[in-house]
Amino acid sequence: MNSFTRRDALRYGAGAVVSGVAAPLLSSQSNPATPSRETSDEICFMRAVDMVTAIRAKKLSSREIMQAHLKQIHRVNEKVNAIVTLVPEDQLMAQAAAADEALAHGKWLGPLHGLPVGAKDLHETAGIRTTFGSPLHKDFIPDFDCRLVQREKAAGAIVVGKTNVPEFGLGSQTFNKVFGPTRNPYDLNKTCGGSTGGGATALACGMVPLADGSDMGGSLRNPPNFCNVVGLRPSPGRVPDIPTNLGWFTLSVPGPVARNVTDCAYFLSVLAGFDQQCPISIDQPGSQFAAPLDRNFKGVRVAMFRDLGLPWEPEVKNSVHAQRKVFESLGCTVIEAEPDFTDANECFLAWRHWATERSFGDQLATHGDQLNEYIHWHVEEGRKLNGPYLSRVEARRTALFQRLCGFKNEFDFFVLPVNQVLPFDVNTHYPTEIAGVKMENYIAWMKSAYYISVAGNPSAAVPCSFSSTGLPIGLQIVGKHHDDWGVLQLAYAFEQATQVGKRKPEIT
């Protein structure tokens, strides 16, 4: 949704305090005075939960943590182009000093006290440039924070800047005309995925300990999958999406990205929780996600995908199938089975067309030459839709959900790959063919991700292996309706058993 439409929807107030104006691109900024390289590296790859513990115990200051991350940003970011707007360093250090001063006076600011956080460039940030990856908004500086950022700041976090996205978040390859592409930290010639590509890359490179994101067709899962980090697509309504003009819309959800499952769950504890401005908000506290993730999985039934009737790059399919033994080692009963996803593709495309036409249809007449081909396609297709057709699409979607409920009565979790391909060339906008099968549009290669979006079940992307060429491969763990906690618990158990996520990119 464009920034002005979203701003109109936020009439209840401006929200959090302005945190800084837009800064120049990173290449034009000077290096800050920072701790030694060894100290910086150690800090930047600590778990976020350990950073918080160290701050509270006064073993690390927020200033030390901020200095270490600024040093890492200046050292690595120009290689990957993940953080595209950085808050001026003096403002960031002032906020870190204020967090330290508050603690010195016995005031704890919240679960993210003094931690740096990267905000997706689709999320409005008061006083910080928010471009949506579009030339139309390349100089836009909001005067308000979206709800996601409000909650981060209320928890004591410091927003360091904005992470790169595809234009308006469309497509799962992060590039745009404003900032260019974000590169995969494990191979700079490959894509990091999208649309939370900048956030996942910044995490993998140790430039931020936490990053927020959003997901319609796989954007909280594909970039973590390509960058060897963790992402969770929460249940719709778990994290309020405000501002919005489509309050009942369930395909698009905001959520957390982190380097490990513990941090991802901890971040969710801040972002989640009931909000009366969100009509689908789940009336449960977010604090439940800060609890220990340990669980006994003996006898838990896990369905391992077959092929979903989709084409796959062999290494992706084989790598995920090979994880069966890991789940069995956890005590799970693993059976090769998958739900019937009939109509999932049609349902997803219909509602994506509809939502995009709602957001950009009016702009096509006035700014059509500045909107990319994806928007043109969605708007044109959206205008062909009518009420009777959409009612039948929604009936098919309901039937799909009910089939999945029946499937989940037999199984507690469903495991499958996040995407059907490995990270591809950064100059390729999208794969046009997989295993000899032609892709019918720019997002067809993401069906393994967006089939899950249609049903609305929570799903986590977790590292599982590397390809023969050293590229990350992740898997999806899908849970029952509203069982975000169960998904995180199984993801944590899998992570602890494999330790694949600990492999850092060489460029760091």
SS3 348: helix
Distance CA 253, CA 233 (A): 7
Yes or no: say if 462 and 385 are a contact pair by the CB < 8 Å rule: no
- The candidate with the shortest Cα–Cα distance to 354, out of 391, 396, 404, is 391
Yes or no: say if 238 and 272 are a contact pair by the CB < 8 Å rule: yes
Distance CA 94, CA 448 (A): 44
Name the packing angle between helices 387-410 and 344-367 (round to 10°). 140
Distance CA 120, CA 213 (A): 6
* SS percent in the chain: helix, strand, coil, step 5: 40, 15, 45
**Structural tokens at position 337:** 């089975």
Distance CA 158, CA 400 (A): 41
SS3 353: helix
Catalytic residues: 120, 195, 219
Name every residue whose Cβ is closer than 8 Å to that of residue 406 and which is 6 or more positions away in sequence. none
Yes or no: say if 209 and 202 are a contact pair by the CB < 8 Å rule: no
Residue 415 bridge partners (DSSP): 304, 477
Between vectors from CA 115 to CA 230 and to CA 65, what angle results, nearest 5°?
105
Distance CA 306, CA 194 (A): 25
Q: Which amino acid does the sequence have at 256? A: P
